[in-house]
Amino acid sequence: MDNRIEILRDLDWQYWRENCSWMGNHALNRPMETMKQHLEKKGYVEDLHIKSCNELIHMILRTVDRLKTGKEVFHKGEYIRVFDLISIWIGWGGARAPYVKPKDNTTRQNFDHWIEVYAKAAVVSSTHWESAYLQLREIPYLRDAATQHLHYWGGGPPMSFPTRRLLFENPNKANYVDYRSKLDSLSSYWKTEPNEVQKSLFGFSERYFKVTGKLTLIDVDSFDNYDKDFQIVRALLSASAS
């Protein structure tokens, strides 16, 4: 029986929510900075003198709000700018595929072919997130990064591999509907929003576990075996091994 949700209920979620490297007033993390430099080099965005994650987030939200409240039905340049800024927030590991595949004729180079699909998904994301998600998945090579875009347009929780890996026995086969259901379960228990749960789980995961592959400790000798949250780590490792 999969008991990951029961294990995670004891997590100090408020602490880990404040220690997520994709949020806050600290500098962009390495995957974000790598993605930003790639987009600047390609000329997709101007030289962005961004000092913090929050500054990037506010830049995205300002553009999204302008498009949502404006009279323009479709403004191609603004939509692709949002796409690029969100890709920086996602970081190189999760967002690079549309920028490097197919080789020499990438998805991003051919944005005229799919940007209207992106805009239509953005319009319905707040009220019909499942439909919006399926539309975003039509964009070549966007894959699970679609959930991060959906997060900014519709407000739903983004799905990242480090978070998904805490919740599922087989994270590679996890779908977004089931992922949201598990976040809802924890949000009800913690009496908070699913987005706050996602931030907390991500912060917790990046503190203890390697970013890719199976659930593996970063450095087994660097943690206090008597720390409450490390006991949760041990329980999760045991659940993954069974």
Give the model's confidence band at 8: pLDDT under 50 very low, under 70 low, under 90 confident, else very high.
very high
State the pLDDT at residue 222. 64
10 Å CB burial of residue 96 (0-12, 13-18, 19+) is buried
Give the model's confidence band at 21: pLDDT under 50 very low, under 70 low, under 90 confident, else very high.
confident
Mean pLDDT across 139-162? 94
Q: Is the pLDDT of residue 159 over 90?
A: yes
State the pLDDT at residue 185. 97
Mean pLDDT across 124-129? 92
**Mean pLDDT of the chain, nearest integer:** 91
State the pLDDT at residue 221. 62
State pLDDT tens for residues 33-84.
999 999 999 999 998 999 899 999 999 999 999 888 866 556 889 999 999 9
State pLDDT tens for residues 161-192.
999 999 998 888 899 999 999 999 999 999 99
State the pLDDT at residue 226. 54
Check if the beta carbon of residue 151 is closer than 8 Å to that of residue 180: no
Q: What sign does the dihedral 226-229-230-234 (CA atoms) show?
A: positive
Q: Is the pLDDT of residue 1 over 90?
A: no
